[in-house]
Amino acid sequence: MAMNVLITGVSGCVGSRLAPRLRRDGHAVRGFSRRSEEANAGTPTVTGDAVSGEGLAEALDGIDVAYFLIHSMESSLEGSFPARDRRAAENFARAAQTAGTGRIIYLGGLAPTAGAASVHLRSRLEVERILLAATPCSVAFRASIVIGADSRSFRFLVRLVERLPVLAIPAWRDNRTAPIDERDIVELLARAATSDAVCGQALDAGGPEDVTYGELIERIRDHLLLYRPALRLRRLTLTPIASRISAVIADEDHALIGPLMAGLDEDLMPRDDRAARVLEVRLHSLDAAIERALRELEEHEPLAVR
């Protein structure tokens, strides 16, 4: 059944791939973005800001399914990112209820299997709680690292491998996660638009392989065809220091990298594979995901020795 769909974050890594995927299913897709120049090609886009609430009523007018793909990470004069996340989610939930939107689909982060969640993962869980309560058929996906050419987490790891002659990785290198192919998370999100089997649920979305962060970095190194010896720094657990150094090396904003790396201090593993089973999505292998992402990345940016 064709529906009217809104994608917030339509120009981002996932949103930009999700829009054409939904159009292939016959859905009418509308975008929502803070800046008009960020509009996704072929997608009519409403300009606004979820944190202030500007533009939400217009964006959600007549919408059946709304995707919330907004994540506040960088520094801002509008307060801490957890506070901005919460305001954006609350504004979006109210506007969706007023518009009569039947389903909100959210992409957040995996919760630690043990230990305390980092600040940014706690924020993701709080946003999830707000959006799941907004409508009876809302759905939340919790994902780890998305492997894709436009994924900032993946690109960050690629730049570290390229620019570090020795891969000196702190103690969190031995913590485990299950990265997911960008194609697979897009497919899960697309199928959730029409599946009543996932209504009101929070589903973990992991790839078919669990690896340590050290193993993931070494896989990327091998696909780049680079020789980078790995140095295990088992006593280095000072993530704030390591994140600042890593951000400089990868030429990234520490406001983004710091919270992301803070989440590496615990295992981030999916509780089960129910999302892929219920939505009948066949998952790509980790090697296939990395190779495809690197191939797409080097179409636009030079990569070291490929």
SS (H, E, C) 163-207: HCCCEEECHHHHCEECCEEHHHHHHHHHHHCCCHHHCCCEEEECC
Q: Which range, of 27-36, 57-66, 97-106, 225-234, averages the lowest pLDDT?
A: 225-234
Residues 6+ apart with CB under 8 A from 211: 176, 177, 178, 179, 219, 286
Q: Which range, of 35-44, 97-106, 108-117, averages the lowest pLDDT?
A: 35-44
Look at residue 206 in the predicted model and tell me its pLDDT. 95
- pTM of structure: 0.88
Alpha helices (H) in 56-116, listed in sequence order: 56-60, 81-99
Look at residue 35 in the predicted model and tell me its pLDDT. 76
Mean pLDDT of the chain: 85
Q: Read off the pLDDT band of 245 (50, 70, 90).
A: very low
Look at residue 118 in the predicted model and tell me its pLDDT. 74
Please determine, for residue 65, whether its predicted confidence score (pLDDT) is greater than 90.
Answer: yes
Both tokens of 302, joined, read: 């030079």
Which domains can be identified in the chain, with CATH numbers?
4-146+180-206+269-283 (3.40.50.720)
